[in-house]
Structure 1
């Protein structure tokens, strides 16, 4: 009987983990069909930084599901996002208000600090 109770608790933990993963994250697609996991509430700019820091740094716009979008658009599971890139780094202090992921936020802070030192 103890083993049965222990086994059921194990299932509850797995179910709770699965529920947490499904409710705390979104799953979006790159144009190549790769799936990326992002925290719920992430923006198109977070997506660009998740692909690669150089993609985020040069992001000047996005397409979401084949339509023009904004870098501050909140993404949802199933979206297909294409980052539109400029030739040069395009990092802006205001992007700190747009991104939700700590990775993107920290990278932008570093880039803004570098830019401030160059003036």
Structure 2
């Protein structure tokens, strides 16, 4: 069916639906102006800003969660270092005591 056979009003409506100048995919009120990089919808600038804010909020939430996890890991690392240092000190004290006993035995011979 050629475009000559389609009534001009219908052709104009069909072109508006498929053209980049049709209405925003989200609010359906304003003309679409950009394609959202997050969801690939053609949206107006106001809805695009809403998408940006939504993604930024999701990113902030992810960063907050990551920071909480890193804080937990830091606390675990600190506690582990303290336990290792305490265990090392005990081993050094035990080795010192054993050395002192050995020297005492040697001096008694």
Larger helix percent:
2
Larger strand percent:
1
TM-score (norm 1): 0.28
Which is higher, the Rg of structure 1 or of structure 2?
2
Larger RCO (CA within 8 A; separation ≥ 6): 1
